[in-house]
Amino acid sequence: MVPSLRRLPRSRTSEFVALSSSLLIGFLVGFALAASAMVLNDIADVNIDRLNDPSRPIPSGQVSLRSAWALFGLLSALGLALAALQGVPELALAAISYAVAVSYDLRGKRTGLPGNMMVAFTGVSPVLYGALLSRGINLTVALEALMIFLAGCWLAKSRTLLKASLITVPPDGDSLSLRFNSSSSPCLMSNSPTTPSAQRTK
């Protein structure tokens, strides 16, 4: 339970307010950078989405590519600027995590295990960031982060294998069509050899 500010001594009240403000800013850092990575993911997959899921905001025309790029830049700048307010270590960690997320969106999602490791790292970085905001990264935090990272790698790999198991390639050797075994999970279906036929990866 959060203690009432009226019951805390003045020094404790100041400390509580400072910690609360720090945690709020930390939350906004994570929110802004995660949102920017999601916007970039939609931008990177726009050609696939035009065929695979044309109802999404960018392919459907609800959001223009220029607006998406502007939103990506705004969220990125906001997240990194807020991290800079919290200190150099926080900014460094936020920048590394941001760079990993951007790399995954642009290329990492097609690299197999390295991509899975990128996803796992972005799951660990909030734990490390929170530790920096409190008492720093010690051995206990490092071990917890390692366990989360390994679990994240396994889950990401399992997700990839599951998605692959739901796809069948027709016997037509020249066809680039991909169909999900489950009718409830639509996937791209195209017979044109020049059409980018790839499953969208988030």
Domains and CATH numbers, the chain: 5-164 (1.10.357.140)
Rounded mean pLDDT of 161-183? 48
SS3 97: helix
pLDDT above 60 (res 181): no
Where helices occur in 46-138 by DSSP H, the ranges are 46-52, 57-60, 65-86, 88-106, 113-133
Identify which of 93, 157, 172 has the alpha carbon closest to the alpha carbon of residue 126: 93
* pTM reported for the whole predicted model: 0.68
pLDDT at 168: 47
Q: 90, 83 in Cβ contact below 8 A?
A: yes
Report helix, strand or coil for 136. Answer: coil
Buried b (16+ CB within 10 A) or exposed e, 15-30: eeeeeeebeebbeebb
Residue 19 clears pLDDT 70, i.e. is over it: yes
Q: When comparing pLDDT for 182 and 146, which is higher?
A: 146
For tokens 């200190």, the residue is 87
- How crowded is residue 84: how many other Cβ atoms within 10 Å of its Cβ? 15
Calpha distance 202→197 (Å, rounded): 16
